[in-house]
Amino acid sequence: MRYRRHYKKQKGAVILLTALVLLICITLVIFLCSKTVGVQVQIAADNHRMAQAVASANAGLAFGIGYFNGTTTIANGLFTTGKMVKAGFDHDDDKCPDFLSNPLSYFESVSHQIKNCPATLPHTLTYQSVDGKLMTTATVTFDNDAGTRCVSNGVTANMKAGLITAVGFSDDGLAQRMLSQCVGAFNIFGTNTPKYSMISRGAVSLTGNYSLINRFDSANIWSGGGVALGNSPTAGTYLRSVGSLEKAYSRSQLEQSSLATATSQSISGPSKGTGVDIMSADLGLASLTGDAFFSNFFYGDRLAIKSLVQSVNQVYAATDYSSANANSGVIWIEGDVTINNRTYGAIDNPTIMIINGNLTLKGVSNFTGLLYVRGQLDAVGAVAVLGALVVEGDTHLVPSGEASVVGSGDLTLIYSPYALDRLSNPIVGTTTAISGSWRDW
């Protein structure tokens, strides 16, 4: 008996096997794709976090540089356009850098003592997204010790140069990025900081009650024209006592207005005439052009200095001079101006005020720093300057037949290099980022 084989009933086995293989392949593809997507999501998230950290670090570094330059407030970390604050690493005047990353021991030139500064906590900044949902942070520290990549070995640490380090963090704190930059400050006076109480390219006529004091150098007045002194019985010029040394006195003694015989010796006046501290009719000084005279006391010409002042928003029209009241740093006033009862600059936070015109001083006016007048200075009121006074005496501005400096009021000039280039902190607005020193590691 014959049996018939039913092959048709076995045809579905091949299809089943093929389907199974395809299903396995599709499963593997889906698995691999999902894994790839997961990795890409993770990479995107990491990149987002790193971008947040980098942005925060950049903002922190900008804050640090602005803080050093004196154009950033510590309150909110934003650049200001109003009153200028202090520049350098030490804003609280404790002679130690703020936000110090490592302990520091250095010779402090004003007190002539070794100053030991402990490390402090970094300054922390927070940045919030526009929608308020994300918040990143950054920390800022300073280091001005010798032997770092910003300060060479053997150099005495100061508040005018050092390293700024900013570390930025993502909103969840998982990513961080460190940026650093060396900063310094250029000397706005170049290499010829004024050494005398008053320097005038033209004549000087002091008919009021004047006191000119210089306990740091050998002269009070350097003039390209004649010097006429009035007959007020209390008027006079003074130098440090003969035979005494500057280092024997404290800064406060050298800058005091008191005429104690221990620190002051009368040189010129109505009863003594013109003494050795007055250099008049200097043809070399008188022959300088106005531009050459200006550049003799600054690192650059008028255009360069005015551009610097514009960068810190401190150029004022003569009609708006009151807006500069209580400001520090470099101030430029354009045009003839009469100043009445104003104060500019302070101890350890001086002002360099440039009057691009004539200046009349009335009432009680106080200046700490350098007062530069392009035209004529007419001191009618009670005027006190701690630092130096420089008058260009532009002949196109000075009234015909009059002296470059006219003083019928109560004029007190006390020369002090501590209000000029010997200042512990740099002048506001004179920061320079050291080329090639930026690091992102």
CA angle (430, 434, 440) in 5-degree steps: 125
CA distance 339 to 27: 86
For residue 351, the one-letter residue type is T
Q: How far is residue 28 from each of residues 18, 19, 40, measured CA to CA in Å?
A: 15, 14, 18
Q: What pLDDT does residue 219 have? A: 94
- Write down the domain spans for the chain: 53-185, 198-419
The Cα 47–Cα 58 span in angstroms is 16
d(CA 436, CA 184) in angstroms, rounded, equals 13
Collapsing DSSP to helix, strand or coil, 439 comes out as: strand
How far apart are alpha carbons 363 and 341 in whole angstroms? 5
**Encoding tokens for residue 355?**
């009057």
Contact of 224 with 425, CB cutoff 8 Å: no
181-217 residues labelled b (16+ CB within 10 A) or e (exposed): bbbbbebbbeeebbbbbbbbbbbbbbbbbbbbbbbbb
| pLDDT, position 39 | 66
Average pLDDT per consecutive 10 residues, the chain (441 residues; last block may be shorter): 54 73 82 70 78 93 90 57 70 89 87 88 89 89 90 87 94 92 92 94 94 95 94 90 88 88 87 92 96 94 93 90 82 95 87 96 93 97 95 96 94 94 86 88 76
Cα 258 from Cα 254, distance rounded (Å): 10
What six digits make up the tokens of 110? Answer: 């004003």
pLDDT tens-digit readout, 193-236: 999 999 999 999 999 999 999 999 999 999 999 999 988 888 99
Question: Beta-strand (E) ranges in 314-402?
Answer: 315-317, 329-334, 337-340, 343-344, 351-356, 359-362, 364-373, 377-379, 382-391
Question: Structure tokens of 146?
Answer: 């010798």
C-alpha to C-alpha distance for 33 and 27, rounded to whole angstroms: 10
- Kindly report the pTM of this predicted structure: 0.83
Give backbone dihedrals phi and psi of 40, rounded to 5 degrees, phi first: -65, -40
Would you state the pLDDT for residue 345?
87
